[in-house]
Amino acid sequence: MSPIANLNNTYGDDKVHDACGLFGMMDRSGRLFDAEEPVKAIINMRDRGNGLGGGFAVYGIYSDFKDDYALHIMYLNPEPKERAEALLAENFNVRRSEQLPVDSSARVVRPPIIWRYFVSPKADRLHGQPTDDFVVANVMRINTETGGAYVFSSGKNMGIFKGVGFPEDIATYFRLKEYRGYMWVCHSRFPTNTPGWWGGAHPFNILDWTVVHNGELSSYGINRRYLEMYGYNCTMQTDTEVLAYALDLLRRRQNLPLHIAAKILAPPLWEEIAEMEPKERRLNMALRQTYGSLLMNGPFSIIAARQGEILGLTDRIKLRPLTAAVQGDLVFVASEEAAIRCVSPKLDRVWSPLGGEPVVGRLKGFEIEEIATPVIR
Amino acid sequence: MKTYLEPEFIVERNDDRCIRCKVCVNQCTYETHYYDEEDDQVLSRDENCVNCHRCVVFCPTHAITIKPNPTRYTENWNWSDEAIFTLKKQAESGAIVITGMGCDKPYLTYWDRILIDASQVTNPSIDPLREPMEIQTFLGAKPDRLEMEYNNGDIVLQTELAPQLTCETPIMFTALSYGAISFNVHTALARAATEFGTYMNTGEGGLDEQLYKYGDHIIVQVASGRFGVHAKYLDAGAAVEIKIGQGAKPGIGGHLPGEKVTEDISRTRMIPVGTDALSPAPQHDIYSIEDLRQLIYALKEATDYTKPVSVKIAAVHNSAAIASGMVRAGADIIALDGVRGATGAAPKVIRDNVGIPIELALASVDKRLRDEGIRNHASVVAAGGIKSSADVVKAIALGADAVYIGTAALVALGCTVCQGCHTGKCPWGIATTDPWISRRVNPDIATQRLVNLLRGWSLEIKEMMGGMGINAIESLRGNRDRLRGVGLTDTELRILGIKMAGD
């Protein structure tokens, strides 16, 4: 299915090893706010990064194009751009196509060309496929077939800005102070390899889903192979990428509720399952038996976000830190409490979730259908 | 006819140590040792010795040493001693040369060219002495997704999972038929599987009714001879396995010589005393994949869809495509038996030349099922020469859900892999039905030895997993990234789906 040689990681590393700082902030009222506080918070965790990667996912920034898929695409050189744009022109109505505005005075290393496109699938190309699946398939094609193009983000009314540098430099480079969103998910990276590789920076995204991640999945090999059965090509060979695809599979394609998806990624121990009430035990047993290959093993803390929803989660024995807090309408999830306190010294509530215990924040009044009729495929 | 065969082994006895207790004389079922009353000496007939070590172990004064016969034929890579010996044997018998156990040829053991990863710095290893380490394994078909209904905040699971086997460790006892091995060994396997929470496979000779009480931990086999197969037998087991082939003798059926068919065996196998139990080479109702489907569903019908149905094949060149067909035909478990898989009796020429190594078959089957998106639909069990917990870890990382062990379990009971199973005279009381010799296996002690083996391997598996930073076996399964090859060609690495060490 997935040719193992189809990689988009030019350094050909086996897998990216990361330690990182994570920060997520959402205003549940939907109020849009600028980059100041998120950037301040991520700077506060400087020791968690080493200047080899920083990035931001911002939701609610493209309200003028909220029905179009906003594609942020990185090009290593002009040829893949031509190929990717041909592929886009063939399959999508491209409403707008432009280079991402940047501040070239920022301290960043060898920035690639990054373009943004607002697109919608051409009706006659869908052949009955759900549009989301069609977009995923085309993202996979761009990542694997164009030889040097990589889709940073492909959701609606959101975008990802990331690259090599400290997060504040990345924020300057992409002129983030000009954007306002209701949710910011930030990442500062401490990679142990792939220096200077912009594609390796976080966040990772597919459609609506964004993931930032601290850790290294000891289960990566099987997570990837399982996802390949469902058509996901893990071209970046990073742990974070498999998390993003796993959430897309469970949440969007299989319509499983978020806390169930969290139970799949970080399930309870068998001895805990044995203690459960019969109904709950049956459910948890079935989840582990069915989705064992999506258990994310080894140390991780993640922030996963999609339109209207933010999730904080650690591995089931909590080998990486995660703190959550609430202040009024604001929900915070971060690697360190200090980062949260630095932008909001006063907090209504602050806590450290247990291993495998999900923290879920939602926009007020935002309807998320937990179980819709599953899409037949 | 004067035999031209020379003794393969020389028995040396240190006469200073020998106390004439005659333990060796009594223990050797091949009548190698004898006592000469006139000279008050214990002597040996070297030509009878099979190097089973029974006398060596039981000699109270350690007076006995067995050595390979130092007299060799003139060195010749083609006309090796073994080739000449086999030829002479054949010329004297005019028959197929029969042997026991698994292929002993130096075809590459890929397990020994594969190394396991461990966590350092970026990812902590996990300490199994202090933290949970889960190796529980479920065998059977899994759905591609779970359907749920959301009812007033309540999640109601809609998907009913297919029946599963629950193994406390991913190690099961492979098919060892009653008749090939003694009742006491069958009993010990059933009891050990029950005590440890795993499964033993009956093999193709049925199951003595006294062992039905262990049925929750028994996989009942249905082979081409249908020996001992009836409704009660199917009901007795936790799963049913259709045996298409076995690694020691792909393409031919099981052979139980008439000498081993005693009263008890006759009752269980439902054949007359003293008759050869020769299983047909194919299952005569399975000449094609659609026929297999019919038998799978006939067995599912017969057991009310309450038990998983396994299909066991010998690892052959086309295993991947065959396995795909088996899954599509409805098999819940695929058992693959590699070229080093053992037997109680097989033609030597077949044992040593037919089939492929389990590592390669396993890797290609797992890959094929994933490529076709049907890997969830069946569990994969690997067998054939697995000799250590490291082999188990490597097999699971290559893609197996669990392994079957046979030879390793018998070695735990005393077997020394002398390859004389087919004689029915196993001095260790294992591969025999002779009531006098079988008593050498005490079911209580044998059970303990098997449980010890399972416990020891399970602890070692947990240690290796912990070192890899993995605390649930499902994260090891199919996780080939955590394996590296040494001394393998690009093609071998490609088929195994692993990288070269250092890469």
What is the reported pLDDT for B125?
92
Q: For residue A196, name the pLDDT band (cuts at 50, 70, 90).
A: low
Domain count, chain A: 1
Whether B149 sits inside 8 A of A254 (CB atoms) is no
For residue B158, give the chain A residue with the closest CA: A283
Specify the pLDDT at position B109: 95
Interchain CB contact of A239 with B (< 8 Å): no
Region for residue A167 given its phi and psi (left: phi exceeds 0; alpha: psi -120 to 50; beta: otherwise): alpha
Backbone angles phi, psi at B213, to 5 degrees: -65, -15
Q: Range with the lowest mean pLDDT among A1-15, A194-208, B73-87, B280-294?
A: A1-15
Strands (E), B332-490: 333-337, 346-347, 379-383, 402-405, 483-485
| CATH code for the domain of A42 | 3.60.20.10
pLDDT of residue A48: 87
pLDDT value of residue B121: 84
Which residues in B lie closer than 8 A to residue A229 (C-beta atoms)? Answer: 370, 373, 375-376
Q: Give residue A369's pLDDT.
A: 44
- pLDDT, one tens digit per residue, over A324-349 is 999 999 999 999 999 999 999 999 99
Interface test with B, best of A190, A220, A225 (most B CBs within 10 A): A225
Min CA distance, A242 vs chain B (Å)?
Answer: 14
- Which chain A residue lies closest to B503 (C-alpha atoms)? A14
Are residues B412 and B293 located together in one domain of the fold?
yes
Tell me if A245 is assigned to some domain.
Answer: no
Q: What is the pLDDT of residue A7?
A: 42
A51 occurs within a structural domain: yes
Does B89 lie in the same domain as B174?
no
B56 with B191, same domain? no
A219 touching chain B per CB within 8 A: yes
Mean pLDDT of A160-180: 94
- Residue A226's pLDDT is 96
Q: Is B68 found in the same domain as B172?
A: no
The partner residues of A361 in beta bridges, in order of sequence, read A310
Which are the catalytic amino acids of A?
20
CATH number at residue B456: 3.20.20.70
Q: What is the pTM of this model?
A: 0.91
Which chain B residue shows the shortest CA-CA distance from A369? B150
Helices (H), chain A: 36-43, 78-91, 123-126, 131-145, 167-173, 220-228, 239-247, 258-265, 270-274, 278-291, 337-343
pLDDT grade for A260, boundaries at 50, 70 and 90:
very high
Q: Does residue B136 fall inside a structural domain?
A: no
Position A373 confidence tier, pLDDT thresholds 50, 70, 90 = very low
Amino acid at the residue B12: E
User: Residue A211: which of A193, A236, A194 has the closest Cα?
Assistant: A236
Q: Which of B95, B121, B153 is the last residue of a domain?
A: B95
A137 found inside a domain: yes
Nearest to B343 by CA among B419, B282, B268, B269: B419
Mean per-residue pLDDT over chain A, rounded: 88
* Residue A336 covered by a domain: yes
The predicted-structure confidence for A122-160, as pLDDT tens digits, reads as follows 999 999 899 999 999 999 899 889 988 999 999 999 999
Residues near A89 by beta carbon (within 8 Å), at least 6 away in sequence: none
CATH number, domain of B29, equals 3.30.70.20
In a domain, A253, yes or no: no
Pairing of strands A18-27, B218-222: unpaired
pLDDT band at residue A46 using 50, 70 and 90 as cut-offs? confident
Q: Write out the residue range of the structural domain in which residue B422 sits.
A: 168-470
At residue A368, the pLDDT reads: 47
- The interface predicted TM-score of the complex, written ipTM, equals 0.90
In a domain, residue A337? The reply is yes
Using CB atoms, which residue from A215, A228, A289 is nearest to B164?
Answer: A289
pLDDT attached to residue B150? 80
CB B173 within 8 A of CB B404: yes
Q: Which amino acid is at B443?
A: P
* In a domain? residue A225: no
**pLDDT score at A237:** 64
Which of B137, B146, B149 would you mutate first to test chain A, the one with the most A CBs within 10 A? B146
E strands, B6-136, are 9-13, 33-36, 41-44, 64-68, 98-99, 114-116
Confirm whether B143 is domain-assigned. Answer: no
- Looking at B95, B116, B135, the residue that finishes a domain is B95
How many domains does chain B fold into?
2
Task: Tell me whether residue B128 is in a domain.
Answer: no
Q: Phi/psi of residue B478, each to 5°?
A: 75, 10
Residue of chain A whose alpha carbon sits nearest to that of B159: A286
Q: What is the pLDDT of residue B151?
A: 75
Binned average pLDDT, 10 residues per bin, chain B of 503 residues: 95 97 97 97 97 97 97 95 95 95 94 96 89 96 93 84 98 96 97 98 96 98 95 97 96 88 94 92 92 97 97 97 97 98 95 97 98 97 97 98 98 97 95 95 98 98 97 97 97 97 93
Residues with Cβ < 8 Å from B405, sequence gap 6 or more? B171, B172, B173, B174, B383, B386
- Is B480 a domain residue? no
Q: Give phi and psi for A117, each to the nearest 5.
A: -130, 140
For A:2-41, CB contacts with B below 8 A are: 14-15, 17-19
Full domain range(s) for residue A117: 18-214+300-362
Q: Band of the pLDDT at A374, cuts 50, 70, 90?
A: very low
In this prediction, residue A6 carries a pLDDT of: 42
Residue A330 in tokens: 């604001």
Window A:259-278, CB contacts with B under 8 Å? 260, 267, 269-271
pLDDT tier at A4, thresholds 50, 70, 90: very low
* Closest CA–CA distance from residue A344 to any residue of chain B (Å): 31
Nearest to B142 among A256, A289, A298 (CB): A289
User: What is the Cα–Cα distance from B276 to B255, expressed in whole angstroms?
Assistant: 7
DSSP label at residue A117: E
A218 contact residues in B (CB cutoff 8 A): 119, 123, 468-470, 475, 482
- How many angstroms separate the most distant Cα atoms in chain A? 62
CB spacing of A299 vs B124 below 8 angstroms = yes
DSSP tag of B498? -
pLDDT at residue number A189? 84
pLDDT above 90 covers a percentage of chain A that reads 65
What are residue A268's phi and psi, to 5 degrees?
A: -65, 160
Residues with Cβ within 8 Å of A376's Cβ and at least 6 positions away in sequence, in order, are none
Question: CA-CA distance, A288 to A19, in Å (whole number)?
Answer: 27
d(Cα A62, Cα A69) in Å, to the nearest integer?
10
Instruction: Say whether B138 sits in a helix, a strand or coil.
Output: strand
Residue A238 belongs to some domain of the structure = no
Q: Which of A225-239, A280-294, B448-462 has the lowest mean pLDDT?
A: A225-239
